[in-house]
Amino acid sequence: MPEQLKVAYYLPRFPRLTETFILREMIHLRELGLDVQVFSLAPPLPSPTMHQQVQAMMPFVHYSPFLFSIKLLLAQFYFFLRSPIKYIRAFIRAIWQSMPEPQTLMRVFIMFPKSVYFAKQIQEMKVDHIHAHFVWVNGIAAQIAADLTGITYSLHAHAWDIFYRNPYCVRRQLELATAIITVSEYHRKYLANLCPRWHPEDIHIVHYGLDPLEFTPGHVPTEDNTIRIMSVGRLEEKKGHEYLIDACKLLSTRGYKFQCSIVGRGRLLESLQARINGLGLQECVKLLGAMNQTEVQNLYHHSDIFVLACVIAKSGDRDGMPNVLLEAMAMQVPIITTPVTGNPELVRDGDNGLLVPERDTHALALAIERLINDPSLRSKLGQQGHQTVLAGFDIHQTAAQLAGVFREICGD
C-alpha cells in the first residue's frame, strides 16, 4: 500500500451549494495527505452563489465526456474485450437492483457508460479506494467500477438516499458495498435493520465536521432589541418551514418584535410565500433564497435564535443530522429543533439546545418565546452548543477518523 492513499470520491454532481460538508471533508482529507480525486457524474449547474472553497478542489475534479463520445466508446471496448463476463455482469447487476425505481433505472442506463469510463480512469490512476456519498446512482457507479477493477468501495449513507428511496434498492446497494459509513447511531440501527448482512458494529459512524477556525462566534446585537430568528434549509416538507412560519404568526399575535429569515431554495417557494402573505407576515418573515457559506455565516453573526423544525415527510423522507445545526452551534447561536432521526444525539434539551415535538406549532412558538424572554438561557445554550461542536464535530477529528476507515478498508 502506498504511503499516500488515493481515494476516488464518486459524487452525483460537483460542486453543489447544499453539500458543503462533502467539500469541507475532501479538503481536510487532502490536508491529511490523502490524494482525493473527485469523479462527478454530472457537470456543475451554473450558480452565482457558489462557495469560495470550491476552487481548492477543482484541479482534482474529473467529469465524463458526453454520452456518445469516442472516449466513452473506447472505455466500453477496453473492459468488454478484456472480460466480457465482468462487463455484462456489472451491467446486469446495476440494472437489476434499480428496476423497482423507474427514474433511477433510467439514470443508470445513461450513467453506465460514464461509470465504465471512470473505471478506466481510476485504474490508470492507481486509485486505492472509491467512496460514494449517498446510497444512490453514484453509489451504483462505484459498484460498477468495483466490479470491473476489483477496487474496494464504501457508501456514505445520509438521509433522503436511504429514507425516501425504495427499500429493496437501498438494501441491494448496501449488500454489495465493501463498507458502510453513516452519520448517527439512529442511521446505523436503521441500516442494520434494513440490511441484515451488516451488523450494527460493522457500520462506521463518522459525524459531520466543521472547522472551528472557520465558524467563529461573533454575535452582533441589534440597536432596537428586535429578535432575529433564522433558519437554513431547502424549501421542502422535511425542513418544517411551514411550522416556523405558523409559530411566527403566534409570536406576532402576542406582540413580539422580531425578524425571521429563511435561507434556501426549493419547490415549496411559492406555497411558503403564499403562507407568509396569507398570515400577513410579509414585513417580519423573509425567504432569502440561496446563499453561499460566507453570506450564511454573516447571517449567523446577526441572528439571536436558530430554528430548524425538522419533520418526517409524508413520503418518509427525513433529515439525518442537519449540518446547519452544527454550524449554528459552532457560531454560538442557540438552536431549536425537533427530536427527528439523529438530532437527539446532537442536541440535549435544555443543555445545548431546545427540542420540541415535530409538527407542533404551539410548542415551537413557546420555545422561541422562552428564548426571547431569557437572554441568559440563550447565552448558555449558545456556549454549550459551541463546546459540543468542539468536542465531537471538529473537522480535523472527523476527517482523521474517516481517513482511518479508508486505511482499514485498504489494509494499510
Question: Cα(401)–Cα(153) distance, rounded to whole angstroms?
Answer: 17
- Who's near 382: CB < 8 A, 6+ residues apart? 217, 219, 329, 332, 333, 334
Question: Cα(407)–Cα(129) distance, rounded to whole angstroms?
Answer: 9
For the sheet containing 258-263, what is the strand order? Answer: 285-289, 258-263, 227-232, 305-308, 335-337, 354-355
DSSP-derived letter for residue 238 is G
Cβ 241 vs Cβ 269: under 8 Å = no
CA distances from 46 to 56, 233, 263, 318 (A): 18, 20, 19, 27
- For residue 305, which phi and psi values (nearest 5 degrees)? -145, 140
CA distances from 24 to 55, 208, 297, 396 (A): 12, 9, 15, 10
Q: What is the CA radius of gyration of the chain?
A: 22
Is residue 2 reached through a cis peptide bond, with omega within 30 degrees of 0 on the bond before it?
Answer: no
Residue segments in the chain with a per-residue pLDDT below the cut of 50: 1
Question: Cα(7)–Cα(314) distance, rounded to whole angstroms?
Answer: 37
199, amino acid identity: H
Nearest to 129 by CA among 148, 112, 154: 154
Nearest to 335 by CA among 357, 359, 352: 352
Domains of the chain: 6-209+394-410 (3.40.50.2000), 227-392 (3.40.50.2000)
Q: Is 291 helix (H, G, I), strand (E, B) or coil?
A: coil
Question: Cα(403)–Cα(129) distance, rounded to whole angstroms?
Answer: 11
Torsion of CA 62, 108, 165, 45, to 10 degrees: 40
Nearest to 54 by CA among 41, 38, 66, 65: 38
Q: Is 398 helix (H, G, I), strand (E, B) or coil?
A: helix
Nearest to 154 by CA among 9, 281, 44: 9
Question: Cα(19)–Cα(98) distance, rounded to whole angstroms?
Answer: 24
Question: Cα(1)–Cα(3) distance, rounded to whole angstroms?
Answer: 7
Cβ 159 vs Cβ 320: under 8 Å = yes
Q: What is the pLDDT of residues 77-132, one digit of tens each?
A: 999 999 999 999 999 999 999 999 999 999 999 999 999 999 999 999 999 999 99
The predicted pLDDT at position 49 comes to 60
SS3 content of the chain, % helix, strand, coil (to 5): 50, 15, 35
| Beta pairing partners, 230 | 261, 306
